[in-house]
Structure 1
Amino acid sequence: MVDQRPHVSSVRDFATWEPVLRLLLAGNTDRGAGRPARVGGRIGRHGWSLALRGRMSPAERGTVEHVQRALARGGAEEVAFTAEIQPTGRTTLSLVEPGPAVQAAIRYPDLGVLVLVEGSLPEPWRRLPDPVPGAVPAPSADLELLERTLRERLPDARGATEEEITAAEERLGVTLPDELKVLYRVTRARREDRGDDYAAADRVADAVGYELSALEDLYSVDGASPHPRWQFGATKAVITPPESAVQGLAGSPGWIVFGSNGGDEIAVDLTPGPRGHVGQVILVDHEQSIGAELVADSLTDLVLNRVREERRDRREDQLPVVASVGSGGLQTVQAAAHPALEVLSIGECDGTPFGLAPVTGLPRLRTLTARPGTLADPLEIAELAGPEFLELGLQEWRVLLDAGAVPRTLLAAAIKMHGQGHLPAVAVANEILALWDRPQIIQTLLEGDLGPVA
């Protein structure tokens, strides 16, 4: 389709894109003489995906930044584009503005994730901690030893009042563990308390083992904050084995962050795993979207440097909860069928498509991804119990749309491209978005002339 709205910003002017097209054309070594050249990519306000080899020169970077400024002026977050350039230089340029209902794809030419329910999140980001009846502080938690050690190391520190500690608890909505209260009664770690003593923060970090946050800066870990995208969460699962000390969550209102190592968060854990202790110290790795590492059984152990060196077993993508069929995984869908199955990914396997009958009755199956052409009958998707995320090929979506069989339990969806580029996906994506009355993707077609192609 061609957008009928007037061009409200230069981002929809051919001249804005001409330098980028010339840049890509110069690096397009695959084009044949006398044949049209095809180039494309994606440029957003904070990054881009372009087929360029090597490090960009300042002039090339400036070319891209010119488009980024046009995006900012026009209020657009990102534009994907493709261009067909004839040997004469006549060019057809297609611009695709995903809009507010689309989370941009990580890689070009994928269109991105269609968020069908505004504000929705993948299930792992919504998962709350399981209760652990009988969980208690570790035997190593020693309030007197902890306070004595901290006061010896920080004799001049200014501690928090009981009123300040109570205010922090009310703000967080939790009761802080006794060890953490002891820590902040010794030092409240406020910057203004240090005055001109710039080494004071280092002394506190040495005394505790990590950089310490001020009492008023304590917060709980929100699993969706660092990785809100559906592409990160839809294929993950929360798995907590019975021998785990830490629950395999994306976040928890009981993970109270009180420090860092400069990149990762250090927290006390009020919602431990089956083999954990209330108030244990955990590390939340900023590069991981699920789970945390046990650092010490207690804050006392942390301060006395009795730390754990064990690493957790990462199980967010393991059977029977997460299964992959084909493409080097399981050989049949039947082998993946299990009451606990939440995520099923189907890839190619000797060209024979797979049927979904073995998993249609599974109550927890929420995510299905299937490469184009790998499903024997896409209409079997309508028999799934309650999928919330589907990633399918264009043809599979076309079958569901034509039959009126798109599951209305979906919260998000994606179109898996298979070398077609993003243009064929726009019309199908807009049909899917329309079922939920979501904002449409805008496509603009422009004509221009780059002059004869060498």
Structure 2
Amino acid sequence: MVEQAARRIAEKVVTSAPAGWTRVVVAGSAGSGSTSVSGGYAVPGATRLRSLPRLFAELSGLAEAVRKVRDWDPTTVEIVCRPSGEYELVAFADGITSLRGLGGGFQAVLDPGYRLPPSSPGQESTAAPAGDPELAVARFRAYMERRAEILGRPERLPPPASAAALDRAERVIGRPLPADLRALYLIANGDAIDHEHRYLLGGDAWLALEDMVAVHAALSEPVWHGWDLGWNSVVFDADPPGTVRRVGGHPAWVPFASGEDGNYLAVDLAPAGNGRPGQIIRMGRDYDECPVYVADSVTALLGRHLELLEQGAYEKDDDHIEPAGPEPGHGPERIIGEIPGEVPAGLQAIHVNDVTSPVDLAPLTGAANLRLLHLNHCATTDLTPIRGLPVESLRVTLDGGDLTPLEGHRHLTSLELGTTTAIDIVPLRTVPNLRGLDLSRAVVRDLAIVADLPDLRYLALSARQWTTLLDEGAVPPTLAAARLADDDASLAEALTWAARLGLDTGDALRTTGSLPV
């Protein structure tokens, strides 16, 4: 069945080939959850590969055939066809994945269970909760009365949750709910009647207790997006700074209201040092890189919504009322383009794109909150301005200069380095939290030094660099994932490389065939 599925793909790409083509590569990942495809036709004189025909159905059929033979889901696949009609298929489990379109090359996962630690766990607040259950109840009742005046009728609410149900929910969650939120559930168990929400909380649907417990179970840990996106990711600080832990998810974040778009309002039961237990944050799909501080308590949130109604700051649409106050900022303060002469005090991320080199980093010395600095398609000569900054993710090309300013840098967790001349990476030995390193664009004098980096978990190199490192027996023993950065590498070459790293690739599927021409 695998052979038949591969042949169907080969027939389609050959039939759809442009004039003068010399080779076509179909690469991607296929499985029951999703299918991705990349590659294209090589045509002499063309500056880029010509596009492939739609192959999602054919790749899904191949994935199903592979699943029956190997039980892999998803599967990394590559099919190469030539005008002679000859074609070959290589397929392997998702321990090796193609990164075409995501930087190029291949990624090998050596330790599937390892996850990078949070950007900064931070210290938990010792402050008392700001919520007041009696005031929260009074505000909620006043809020509902004002809504009834606007709508011309009172709104039905579900019956209250019982104290016993609240106790059970707290046992499952593993910690007590804030007293003001608990008091609201003793008035009503969410805001849905017959599964239709009233959207009481600023346009968010207030969840029933059982739904809150279920959502908490699903979102109690940060979402892991894989090494291709995660190796140099940063979770930024909320505003005000130091109120919310810089993590993408936490067992002590309890979602109690839903935007019905993958985002939630949650009570934060383990805030950072400047926060208050029971504070309200926005978390979820769009907030993985920066949870947003909303209010210091459910009590304060209700007070804000009530005040907006009393001010007439709301929008009414049939049976729904939505307060129209300003939403707290979404995401960190960032700049995309070039470094301004005056850097905002709250700047946390800057992407410098396509500016004249060398880029002077000196204006950044006042960016006391800068966590991410990426120079794209431009270079600098001096990293000294970074020495005292809390930069965690650094992407830079050095045109001269050295890495001495990074010695002992305690914040840096990932470095993507390009160079125009040979460079010494000895200073990286003293960077204690460096876990991700990409040297594929760098000329390195002594590559074996990477074996001395104390806790390196991700390493990206070119094929030539990997050969040097492997031949010298200098692969860092702590690696959990690696990248073969050459965009023109084949899956067969990636399997050979991964095997040298210690990954068992002996059960890779391979098949060849020939079409009539």
SS in 1 for 2:256: strand
Amino acid at match of 2:123: D
What corresponds to 1:114 in structure 2?
108
Any gaps of 5 or more consecutive residues in structure 2? 41-49, 148-154, 309-324, 334-347, 349-370, 374-388
In 1, Cα distance between equivalents of 2:401 and 2:130: 46
What corresponds to 1:48 in structure 2?
36
1:88 aligns with 2:84: yes
Query: Conserved in 2, the CA contact under 8 Å of 1:321 and 1:340?
Result: no
In 2, Cα distance between equivalents of 1:165 and 1:216: 10
Q: Structure 2 matches for 1:120-135, cutoff 5 A?
A: 120-124=114-118, 128=121, 130-134=123-127
Shift of 1:44: 0.3
In 1, Cα distance between equivalents of 2:36 and 2:232: 25
Amino acid at match of 1:447: T
Query: Conserved in 2, the CA contact under 8 Å of 1:103 and 1:229?
Result: no
In 1, Cα distance between equivalents of 2:63 and 2:169: 42
In 2, Cα distance between equivalents of 1:103 and 1:247: 32
Q: Structure 1 residues 275, 80: closer, same or farther in 2, change over 3 A? A: same
Q: Structure 2 matches for 1:137-152, cutoff 5 A?
A: 137=130, 142-149=135-142, 152=145
In 2, Cα distance between equivalents of 1:308 and 1:277: 22
User: Residue 455 of structure 2 is aligned with which of 379, 386, 389?
Assistant: 386
Amino acid at match of 1:211: A
Shift of 1:158: 0.7
Shift of 1:113: 3.6
What corresponds to 1:256 in structure 2?
254
In 2, Cα distance between equivalents of 1:20 and 1:433: 32
SS in 2 for 1:41: strand
1:206 aligns with 2:200: yes
Shift of 1:370: 1.9
Shift of 1:176: 0.6
What corresponds to 1:310 in structure 2?
328
What corresponds to 1:17 in structure 2?
6
SS in 2 for 1:348: strand
Amino acid at match of 1:309: E
Query: Conserved in 2, the CA contact under 8 Å of 1:42 and 1:48?
Result: yes
What corresponds to 1:70 in structure 2?
65
Could you tell which deviates more after superposition, 307-316 or 116-125? 307-316
SS in 2 for 1:124: coil
What corresponds to 1:280 in structure 2?
279
Amino acid at match of 1:130: Q
In 2, Cα distance between equivalents of 1:224 and 1:401: 36
Query: Conserved in 2, the CA contact under 8 Å of 1:136 and 1:277?
Result: yes
Q: Structure 1 residues 298, 331: closer, same or farther in 2, change over 3 A? A: farther
SS in 2 for 1:278: coil
What corresponds to 2:46 in structure 1?
none
In 2, Cα distance between equivalents of 1:288 and 1:30: 47
In 2, Cα distance between equivalents of 1:229 and 1:253: 21
Shift of 1:31: 4.5
Query: Conserved in 2, the CA contact under 8 Å of 1:102 and 1:114?
Result: yes
Amino acid at match of 1:81: E
In 2, Cα distance between equivalents of 1:180 and 1:114: 46
Query: Conserved in 1, the CA contact under 8 Å of 2:96 and 2:106?
Result: yes
In 2, Cα distance between equivalents of 1:108 and 1:92: 25
In 1, Cα distance between equivalents of 2:26 and 2:53: 17
1:451 aligns with 2:516: yes
1:226 aligns with 2:223: yes
SS in 2 for 1:50: strand
In 1, Cα distance between equivalents of 2:102 and 2:18: 19
* TM value normalised by structure 1: 0.80
Q: Structure 1 residues 325, 50: closer, same or farther in 2, change over 3 A? A: closer
Report sequence identity in percent. 20
What corresponds to 1:3 in structure 2?
none
What corresponds to 1:7 in structure 2?
none
Any gaps of 5 or more consecutive residues in structure 1? 1-9
What corresponds to 1:170 in structure 2?
171
Amino acid at match of 1:270: L
Q: How big is each residue's C-alpha offset from its partner over 1:58-78, in whole Å with a ceiling of 9 and x where there is no partner?
A: xx5543443243234332321
SS in 2 for 1:20: helix
Query: Conserved in 2, the CA contact under 8 Å of 1:41 and 1:108?
Result: no
Relative contact order (C-alpha < 8 Å, sep 6+): which is higher? 1
User: Residue 341 of structure 1 is aligned with which of 408, 411, 415?
Assistant: 411
Query: Conserved in 2, the CA contact under 8 Å of 1:31 and 1:37?
Result: no
1:187 aligns with 2:188: yes
In 2, Cα distance between equivalents of 1:379 and 1:214: 57
What corresponds to 2:317 in structure 1?
none
Q: Structure 1 residues 68, 392: closer, same or farther in 2, change over 3 A? A: same
Q: State the superposition RMSD in angstroms.
A: 3.4
Q: Structure 1 residues 25, 103: closer, same or farther in 2, change over 3 A? A: closer
In 1, Cα distance between equivalents of 2:132 and 2:112: 46
Q: How big is each residue's C-alpha offset from its partner over 1:118-163, in whole Å with a ceiling of 9 and x where there is no partner?
A: 42112238x6553122253268993342343366465653111111
Amino acid at match of 2:499: N
In 2, Cα distance between equivalents of 1:30 and 1:395: 34
Shift of 1:17: 1.5
Query: Conserved in 1, the CA contact under 8 Å of 2:110 and 2:481?
Result: yes
SS in 2 for 1:294: strand
What corresponds to 2:129 in structure 1?
136
SS in 2 for 1:360: helix
